[in-house]
Amino acid sequence: QVQLVESGGGLVQAGGSLRLSCVASRSIFSINAMGWYRQAPGKQRDLVAQISSGGSANFADSVKGRFTISRNNAKNTVYLEMSNLKPEDTAVYYCNARMGYTDYWGQGTQVTVSS
């Protein structure tokens, strides 16, 4: 199993940028997939971006061209770089690690984008 701790959320104006970090309690080198999900009030939790152990990434259509995801295996850390933020990006962002058929989640970090 793995524990995940997110950081980097906050309040930003529309058009601004943030970088989220997710530090894992163990090596992420062999973890099948790591990613970021978000959940706005009253809505379901949706995938934002995901990166495989081989480095392949996929993104939700709503964030393509604005967000990037990367992983630093040496630091057991996954990053989500967010730019040109929009008010609709406001949500709690959760780090996810998928190991086999099991999902592990962090506690979440709030991102609020003001108009």
State pLDDT tens for residues 27-41.
Answer: 998 888 999 999 999
Count the neighbouring beta carbons within 10 Å of the beta carbon of residue 110.
12
pLDDT given for residue 69 in this prediction? 97
Is 93 in contact with 44 (CB distance < 8 Å)?
A: no
- CA 57 and chain centroid, separation: 12
- Read off the pLDDT of each residue in 85-112 and give the average, rounded to a whole number: 96
- Read off the pLDDT of each residue in 50-57 and give the average, rounded to a whole number: 92
* 21, two tokens: 């970090």
CA angle centred on 35, ends 68 and 94, rounded to 5°: 105
d(CA 113, CA 1): 33
